[in-house]
């Protein structure tokens, strides 16, 4: 997955990242969905081990433009995991209570504990994305947040959290197709939010804000991946494979069973 990782310190130009790319698994949708099933199973095994070992914590951050596929990614990639060890945290427009605190307050308390996986559906990055695009706070305020975010994520990483951040990269045309589908398909209409059209008009400002965030906050300890997301089946394979490879790299082990189990005789039960 190295080709989708944003190298720390590099300048991201999203126009150079192809949202249609399927080059790592050029297998098409049908075979892609079959492969995902296998990955779902592998992820479930790894999550069981993570939970059993109770040592590592995994934080998965999902960011995307509207219709970018955050919900679908969660549904498809985490289809088989045990809900007991996985949480999804959604970050919507802050409440008055949240706004009365610093922007990391609501985020920190949703981070994973030992043995847990937490998926952020939107995240603290909104505070340098929508907030920057709409000038919800002055540039002197949001401008400092890249440093805060790096320090925050460093703290989490130093204390045992593995962090993976995915930007689901769709094209503006693909967004138009998905918005149309939301209007046309009865079972998708509820998802249509007229407000999304206003945000779409700000596409270029959002791309700038994303580029700044990706360039300034992709680190060794909390890397960003730019996931080609026009093809949903491919997006899911990239995200699932990245998570699996990362978990496999943790060297997790089942805890030692209590001593003396060999001597236990259950024949009288
Ligand atoms: P869906 O994809 O189903 O529409 P969503 O994540 O877009 O889900 P919405 O309720 O439509 O959910 O939108 C949440 C909104 O909250 C987004 O427009 C997002 O930019 C906004 N938001 C999130 N965090 C902040 C923040 N810190 N400040 C201001 N707005 C925020
Ligand atoms: Mg929305």
Percent pLDDT > 90 in the chain is 100
For ligand 1, the distance from its centroid to the CA atom of residue 70, given in whole angstroms, is 12
Give the per-residue pLDDT at 54. 97
* Residue 35 belongs to some domain of the structure: yes
If we measure between CA atoms, which residue out of 238, 221, 220 comes closest to residue 229?
238
Give the per-residue pLDDT at 250. 98
* Residue 148 belongs to some domain of the structure: yes
Does the pTM exceed 0.85?
A: yes
**Ligand 1 pocket test target in 64, 68, 71, 92 with most atoms within 8 Å of CB:** 92
* Residue 263 belongs to some domain of the structure: no
Rounded average pLDDT over 39-63: 98
Q: For residue 51, is pLDDT > 90?
A: yes
Rounded average pLDDT over 148-155: 98
d(CA 259, CA 118): 33
Using a 6 Å CB cutoff, which residues line ligand 1?
Answer: 66, 71, 91-94, 122, 126-127, 130-131, 136, 191, 193
Binned at pLDDT 50, 70 and 90, residue 231 comes out as: very high
* Residue 115 belongs to some domain of the structure: yes
For ligand 2, the distance from its centroid to the CA atom of residue 66, given in whole angstroms, is 5
* Residue 188 belongs to some domain of the structure: no
Question: Is the CB of residue 143 less than 8 Å from the CB of residue 201?
Answer: no
Binned at pLDDT 50, 70 and 90, residue 113 comes out as: very high
For every residue of 65-80, DSSP letters joined together read: STTSSHHHHHHHHTTT
What is the total count of domains within the chain? 1
Pairing mode, strands 117-121 and 224-228: unpaired
* Residue 228 belongs to some domain of the structure: yes
Q: Which atom of ligand 1 is nearest to the CA of 103?
A: 27
Which residues does residue 181 pair with via DSSP β-bridges, in sequence order?
none
Q: For residue 151, is pLDDT > 90?
A: yes
Six-digit token pair at 97?
């209570």
Q: Nearest bound ligand to CA 107?
A: 1
For ligand 1, the distance from its centroid to the CA atom of residue 92, given in whole angstroms, is 4
For ligand 2, the distance from its centroid to the CA atom of residue 18, given in whole angstroms, is 23
Binned at pLDDT 50, 70 and 90, residue 199 comes out as: very high
Give the per-residue pLDDT at 104. 98
Q: Whose CA is nearest to atom 12 of ligand 1?
A: 92
Q: Domain of 31: which CATH number?
A: 3.40.50.300
Look at residue 245 and give its three-state secondary structure.
Answer: helix
Q: Nearest bound ligand to CA 126?
A: 1
Q: Which domain holds residue 121?
A: 2-169+201-250
* Residue 257 belongs to some domain of the structure: no
**Ligand 1 pocket test target in 126, 202, 229 with most atoms within 8 Å of CB:** 126
* Residue 183 belongs to some domain of the structure: no
For the ranges 17-26, 130-139, 214-223, 254-263, which has the lowest average pLDDT?
254-263
Give the per-residue pLDDT at 83. 96
Give the per-residue pLDDT at 124. 98
Give the per-residue pLDDT at 1. 87
Q: Nearest bound ligand to CA 93?
A: 1
């Amino acid at each position: 997955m190295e080709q989708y990782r944003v190298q720390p310190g590099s300048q991201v130009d999203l126009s150079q990242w192809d949202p249609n790319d399927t080059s790592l698994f050029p297998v098409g949708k049908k075979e892609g969905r079959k492969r995902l099933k296998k990955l779902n199973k592998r992820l479930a095994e790894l999550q069981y081990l993570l939970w059993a070992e109770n040592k590592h914590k995994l934080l998965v951050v999902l960011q995307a433009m509207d219709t970018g596929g955050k919900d679908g990614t969660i549904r498809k990639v985490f289809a088989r995991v045990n809900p007991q060890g996985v949480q999804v945290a959604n970050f919507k427009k802050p409440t008055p209570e949240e706004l009365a605190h610093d922007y990391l307050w609501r985020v920190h308390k949703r981070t994973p504990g030992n043995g847990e996986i937490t998926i952020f559906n939107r995240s603290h990055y909104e505070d340098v994305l929508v907030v920057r695009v709409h000038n919800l706070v002055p540039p002197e305020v949001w401008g400092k947040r890249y440093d805060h975010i790096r320090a925050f994520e460093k703290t989490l990483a130093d204390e045992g959290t593995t962090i993976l951040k995915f930007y689901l990269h769709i094209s503006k045309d693909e967004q138009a197709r998905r918005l149309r589908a939301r209007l046309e398909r009865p079972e998708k209409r509820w998802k249509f939010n007229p407000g999304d059209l206003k945000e779409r008009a700000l596409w270029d400002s959002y791309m700038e804000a994303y580029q700044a965030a990706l360039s300034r906050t992709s680190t060794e300890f909390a890397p960003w991946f730019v996931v080609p997301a026009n093809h949903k089946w491919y997006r899911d394979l990239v995200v699932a494979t990245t998570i699996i490879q990362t978990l496999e790299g943790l060297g997790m082990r089942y805890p030692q069973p209590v001593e003396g189990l060999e001597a236990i005789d259950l024949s009288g039960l």
